[in-house]
Structure 1
Amino acid sequence: MNQSIIRLTRELNDLQKSNDLSIAVACRDSDIRNVRALILGPPDTPYEFGFYEFSMKFGRDYPGKAPAVNALTTNGGRTRFNPNIYGGGKVCLSILGTWRGERGEEWSAAQGMESILISIQSLMSSNPYENEPGFENTTSETDKENMKVYARKIRHENIRIAIVQRLEEYLGLNADGTRVQVDPDADGTVVAADDDAFEPFIDLIKRRFLWYYDSYLHTIAKEQEYVSEGEMFVKMPFEHNGNIMEGKFLYSNLVKRLRNIRGVLDEEPGQWAEEGKAAAAKDLGVAVNLRRQFEQTVEHYRKDQSVTVDLELVDDNPFVWKLAVIGRPMTNFDGGLFNIQINVSVRFPDEQPRVKFLTSMYHHRISKDGIPCYTAKKPEEAKSHIEAILHMLEEERPPYDPRMAVNIEASKLYWGSEADRKEYNRKLRRCVISKCTPFLLY
């Protein structure tokens, strides 16, 4: 096998198995040299929790020569998201040979797919204005104001383009919330979708949207204090026609569009349940396999005395699991009974389960409306998801990771001062003792 292919295969496998929540990669089985990459906008930057996609084309001389990298999240080539990421897709990095750098910054065979993506991610800083050559150490009052103004318009377009537009495209939604109508061909037949379209991150982005939904609304609420509805974007000194970020602030409209997206995503688990019921009635392989996984998981927890759980199928549907967890003694969860619903798609594991706490929870990794933030070690196994949920729920002193802080208020208390942590524990215990209020089922 070609050494270039061996190297690419290893790098792809390593990235796909890593626990990095910020980077994802994929390629067609038949074309390993053309890779798609997704970078999650870093927390505490104007790009926070946006979904930025890139294409990476590796030649036969890789790793001797850098791949060709292009940004795909550009609003159809109309929006420049960064001084180093052009509207036309060009990514200016010295290691890619697309920008002159200092000695030692050029490409070498020691570089690779991960180092390229980390370098691109580093461009998405809290102050991207400084990325423009000549503006790195500027101290003028005009430039200081421009830094704030530039970050504000990126923050708006991050939500509009890298989040809202992307989800609307995936869900077939117009900006007003109506469904996109498929135009018939001239002879009256419906035009088929493009079979060549490669969209490997749809499910990942949907699930992350649910994690960060409250953060998006929180960001908008804060930004509305600084800008007026309809206020035009300010052109930066380094922006030019054809390579610029133009537009105006329309946050009220973005709130409506975010809510429309959330509404459609909330309907999907119910649709999955109906699809699953039909698959089970026909004894399709996916239904038989999932029922077997359910039975094996029940048997596993029957033998495991370290945790008390009850697992059942809703309406005998192998695609809808109901998990009841009894809090461990001598913990903040002692005495609590927590009900969790797990909806599984007939396309599992390509589509990962949607999980929701039916019992309200005050927890830094569970959103206000019950969406838990967890990662399964073996995403293709249903039992691994339950293990990850239980670990997430009771993990003591987890490392700080703002990408997993999906409950804004609870996270501030949990990671705050000692007094804040005590207040967090009080609120958690109060939630447990009150037996909690059930959320609506899907």
Structure 2
Amino acid sequence: MLKNQSQFYVKNCWYKGVSKNIDMIKRLPKEIGIAQELRNVGIYYFPEESNMNKGKAILFGPMDTPYEYIPLEFSFEFPTDYPYVPPKVNYLTNDGYTRFHPNFYVEGKVCLSILGTYSGPKWASSLNLSSVLLSLYSLLTRNPLQHEPIYEKANEMLPKCLQYSEFVEHNLVQLFFRLYNTYKKVDDEEFQTILESNKQLLMSKVIKKAQEQETLYTVLPYAMSGSTRWKLLAKNFL
């Protein structure tokens, strides 16, 4: 697979003018191959067949977080002067309203220092595709509001932190079932096996949480408001 990718990429770079950056030509196919090793933690990267400068990543949220079992999708675009500048990354798993993470904006912006979109350690040519993927994955924590500077020392049981996590979890599960048929179009057998397994786990979660009372949230950040309606979610999707 990697050999074919490399041959295709070099051909397109030199004969179709995608890039004449020899470092990019040498590195990117290798980085894409190495990124496949991250599948064992639930990180999948798929380059575009017609242009390896672009691709998408799907990260399955880690256990014991509001993101568990949920596939979160990001688009990647590698500039022609990569690896001397970072790739451009956008967050795609959105419902048009919920701020699912302090670092992921509704309009798709991803705040990450190595991408040049946030304060902190900057991009270096020694970093690579896997560095970005693992950095994104590390943001998916049990108390995501801690990634907002004013809440970085806040306990997860603080009402605003707790309500934010619960609201994010509910809306992500709801979004998952809405987008499920879209995820089914991903042409990758291993991905589909994990997707189906996670669907069953999410169905069990919904059934369990449907026993809880509807909760109205009054202290949500980012000017959000709303409630969790697990019973209605179960009725609509199960």
Higher helix share: 2
Partner SS state of residue 52, structure 1? strand
* Higher-RCO chain (CA-CA 8 Å, sequence separation at least 6): 2
Aligned pair 1:54/2:74, yes or no? yes
Give how far 1:122 is off. Answer: 1.2
Aligned to 2:220: 236
Give me the TM-score of the superposition, normalised by structure 2.
0.81
Amino acid at match of 2:46: A
Residue in 1 aligned with 2:199? 213
Residue of structure 1 in register with 2:180 after alignment? 167
Larger Rg belongs to:
1
Q: 1:157: how far off?
A: 1.3
For residue 28 of structure 2, the aligned residue among 4, 8, 29 is 8
Aligned position for 2:16 = none
Please state how far the C-alpha of 1:70 moved relative to its aligned partner: 0.3
CA distance in 1, matches of 2:218, 2:103: 19
Which residue among 137, 142, 146 is the counterpart of 1:126?
142
Q: Give, as a single letter, the amino acid of the residue that structure 1 aligns with 2:170.
A: H
Question: 2:60 — aligned with what?
Answer: 40
Paired residue for 1:255, among 225, 234, 237? 234
Partner-residue secondary structure (3-state), 2:47: strand
Query: Counterpart of 2:171?
Result: 157
TM-score, normalised relative to structure 1:
0.45
- Determine the C-alpha separation between the residues in 2 that align with 1:234 and 1:207: 38
Deviation at 1:17, TM superposition (A): 5.0
Alpha-carbon distance, 1:74 to partner: 1.0
Matching of residue 116 in structure 1 with residue 132 in structure 2:
yes
Q: Tell me, which stretches of 5 or more residues in structure 1 are unaligned?
A: 172-198, 260-442
User: How many residues are treated as equivalent by the alignment?
Assistant: 218
Unaligned runs of 5+ in 2: 1-9, 11-21
In structure 2, the residue corresponding to 1:29 is in which secondary structure?
coil
What is the root-mean-square deviation of aligned Cα atoms in Å? 2.5
- The equivalent residue for 1:267 is none
The answer to whether the 8 A contact 1:170-1:202 is kept is: no
Helix, strand or coil at the partner of 2:45: strand
Could you tell me how far 1:30 is from its partner in structure 2? 2.0
Contact kept, 8 Å, 1:37 with 1:56, in 2: the verdict is yes
**Cα deviation 1:42-96 (Å, max 9, x = unaligned):** 1110100101000011101111101110001012x33211011111111111111
1:10-66: CA deviations, max 9, x gaps? 111122355524111112222111111100011110100101000011101111101
Give the superposition deviation at 1:168. 4.0
Partner of residue 68, structure 1: 88
1:6 Cα deviation from its structure 2 partner: 2.1
Aligned pairs for 1:36-435 within 5 A: 36-75=56-95, 77-101=96-120, 105-138=121-154, 144-161=158-175, 163-169=176-182, 200=186, 206-224=192-210, 226-228=212-214, 231-237=215-221, 239-240=222-223, 244=224, 246-259=225-238
